[in-house]
Structure 1
Amino acid sequence: MLDVRRVLLLVEAAELGSLTAAADALAITPSAASQQMSRLEAEVGQPLLHRLPRGVRLTDAGAALAERGRAIRRELRGAQADLESLAQLDRGTLRLGSFPTASASLLPLALTRFSRKHPGLRTSVRSALFDDLLDLLDTGEIELALLWDYEWNRTDEQSLQVEHLLDDPTVLVVPANSELLEEPRISLADLAGQEWIIRADNHPVAEVLRRSCRLAGFEPRISYESHDYQEAQAMVAAGLGIAIAPRLALTNRRHDVRLVHFADDVPAPTRRILLARTANRPPTPAASAMTEIMRAVAQRFTDSNLHRTQLGTVRTG
């Protein structure tokens, strides 16, 4: 296979009329240029240049190869321009993975900020289950993924670089006219007699409810299994029972339900929201830019939740 650098040397010699000028253009010595040209001629098996008293002239073989070399040079320059454009975030695609709660809360604001700051870039988002997001990261189909975990199933994959964005507390969801809102303090044990709305299909929040209630000494009585958080809120508002949910899942809260924040001594686990990428692949400039934006958005949500609590959101404790 021909050495591309030697072919580019031939192109420079053809355009500038001498090997010495070509050497200057490529920042090498004239002797090194002469040696490289001799090696190129040995590779092709025929002369490429006529050495003249002043300068050089291409042979037919040299002219044919130089023409191909000009095309190679154009492609290389184009590739360099593409890389510079990607580094400057002027073009390209960022591939993200997410899950429904994050897609309905954190992600829209992050995408809006990203598109305003980098209008030349496009983003694609894949919404998937936890294990599917890990597979998409592993295959390179996505560059970044929003993930979550609880204390009993920490995400500790050695193949991932994981950043903790924020804590997403578990809250109690009750009807807007619930007598529970009048209580100065409510423990989970006080809720043993309640009916509960739970997420269906072995959803992680169903496990959170069962674990929390068992720690409080009782098994929850399930009155309804919902398939999304809007449905769960509707059943709470209708009086079928109460529910627990991650705070981010209730960004779009119905007007006829209220949220009760648990105190620190109540056994209601907090979910961590994570941003992950594959550890053995360096982040692209676009991925790095989105990571910074996700950090800022996560901080905004953290501050917003603290503000709600300080304004007097009902707390059990």
Structure 2
Amino acid sequence: MLNDEYQGLFDIRRLALLVEVVEQGSITSAADLMMYTPSAVSQQLRKLEQEVGQPLLNRRSRGVVPTEAGQVLAAHARKIVGQMKAAQSDLDQIAGLNRGSLAVGTFPTLAGSFLPVVIRAFKKRYPAIGLSVRSARFDQLVSDLQSGITGICLLWDYPWNRFHDDSIRLTEVFQESTVLLVSRSHPLADREEIRMEELKKESWIVRAEAHPVVEVLQRAAHNAGFEPSIGFLANDYQEAQAMVSVGMGVALAPKTAVALLHPEVKVISIGDAAPLRRILLAQRQDKVYAPAEVAFQSTLLELAREHAGDYL
């Protein structure tokens, strides 16, 4: 049982009704907004006046005006009602992070490097959220996001082909460099950095099916004054590394693609010969982001700041 200190506390619903009546200047208008009948509002306000022990409203032919006591109580009630709304919002946020699910779209190089770091941290912080990850090609990632199959997704672009869609909000996560892959028996394997001009006579291993890294190579090679000689078309970066390791050629790759490096492959910097690739967080513009999405974004960007130097 509450002690005497709390016996005089007022009903929050009656306080909310008082605020609305004072602001509207009319019991009928307040009743409409609060979805009560005017008689029910009047009844609740009479009970509140009994609790207070003095009149709160002066009834007039065209509405009501607060008494001095009504003005004082309404001023306090506004703060109380506002705080209760904030409390409900906070509780809703917590509830949102203790149930539900989140689907994230990504692409293979990020799924094999940075994203597992984010997933590990997110699952530790929010173990009740069911997290699923879909790895796909660029166009499918965008389609899944727009159709609601995924709540958020990770994309990438290069300076010559910036991604833009008015329906999608983009946040840069980090930028990554392109690196050269050579076998450990290659004459250049002891170098830490090399210029593209020195690679004119090399045979190149590239990704098949017009993969974007092909354009990266072509642009870098053309800027260095040569046409690259393609010696092997690989289906993925692991296959490309395997061919590099046995001397079938050299290759370019985004740095996230070599997070799992073949033991017989050496990574060499090509400086600024190839532009940086942007890694992007994509979200639909037209939706209210669920608490789980906000939490995942926060975790993602926090860890991206910590690991930003790993991919340059």
TM-score, length of structure 1 as denominator length: 0.69
Deviation at 1:39, TM superposition (A): 10
Q: CA deviation at 1:86?
A: 5.8
Q: Which residue of 1 aligns with 2:223?
A: 215
Secondary structure, aligned partner of 1:260: strand
Q: Which moved more, 1:295-304 or 1:160-169?
A: 295-304
Corresponding position of 1:173: 181
Partner of 1:106: 114
Deviations 1:234-292 (A, max 9, x none): 1001110000000001000011110001223xx21221111110112132111111111
Counterparts of 1:225 and 1:94, CA distance in 2: 36
Aligned positions of 1:1-150 closer than 5 A? 24=14, 27=17, 36-37=36-37, 84=92, 87-150=95-158
The answer as to whether partners of 2:193 and 2:270 remain within 8 angstroms in 1 is: no
Partner Cα distance (1:249, 1:186) in 2? 19
Equivalent position of 1:247 in the other structure:
255
| Structure 2 equivalent of residue 300 of structure 1 | 306
Partner of 1:275: 281
Worse-superposed segment, 172-181 or 236-245:
172-181
- Partner residue, 1:286: 292
Q: Supply the distance in 2 between the matched residues of 1:86 and 1:141 (Cα, whole angstroms).
A: 24
Root-mean-square deviation over aligned CA pairs: 3.0
Structure 1 unaligned residues grouped into runs of 5+: 1-20, 41-79, 307-317
CA contact (8 A) 2:196 2:270 kept: no
Kindly provide the CA deviation profile for residues 108-133 of structure 1, in whole angstroms up to 9, marking residues without a partner as x: 11111111101111111121111111
TM-fit CA distance, 1:297: 2.2
Are residues 298 and 26 of structure 1, via their aligned partners in 2, closer, same or farther at CA, if it must alter by over 3 Å?
closer
Moved more, 240-249 or 121-130: 121-130
TM-score by length of 2: 0.71
Secondary structure of the 1:174 match is strand
What residue is the counterpart of 1:70 in the other structure?
none
Cα offset, 1:214, TM superposition: 1.3
Find runs of 4+ consecutive structure 1 residues off by over 6 angstroms.
Answer: none
Q: List per-residue Cα deviations over 1:33-61 (Å, max 9, x = no partner).
A: 99955999xxxxxxxxxxxxxxxxxxxxx
Q: Which moved more, 1:83-92 or 1:135-144?
A: 83-92
Name the CA distance, whole Å, in 2 between partners of 1:275 and 1:205: 21
Aligned partner of residue 149 in structure 2, secondary structure: coil
Output the CA distance in 2 between the equivalents of 1:37 and 1:277.
43
Could you say which residue in structure 1 is the equivalent of 2:47? Answer: none
Contact 2:196 2:221 in 1 (8 A): yes
SS in 2 for 1:152: helix
Task: State the alpha-carbon separation in 2 of the partners of residues 247 and 184 from structure 1.
Answer: 15
How far is 1:25 from its partner?
9.5
How many residues of Structure 1 are paired with residues of Structure 2 in the alignment?
Answer: 245
Give the structure 2 partner of residue 237 of structure 1. Answer: 245
Whether the 8 Å CA contact 1:171–1:262 is kept in 2: the answer is yes
Q: Distance in 2 between matches of 1:220 and 1:200?
A: 15
Q: Aligned in 2, Cα 1:288/1:194: closer, same or farther, shift over 3 Å? A: same
Question: Structure 1 residue 177: deviation in Å?
Answer: 2.1
Contact 1:85 1:91 in 2 (8 A): no
Mapping 1:149-188, distance limit 5 Å: 149-182=157-190, 186-188=194-196
Q: 1:169: Cα distance to partner?
A: 0.4
- Counterpart secondary structure, 1:165: strand
Contact 1:114/1:293 (CA < 8 Å) preserved in 2? yes
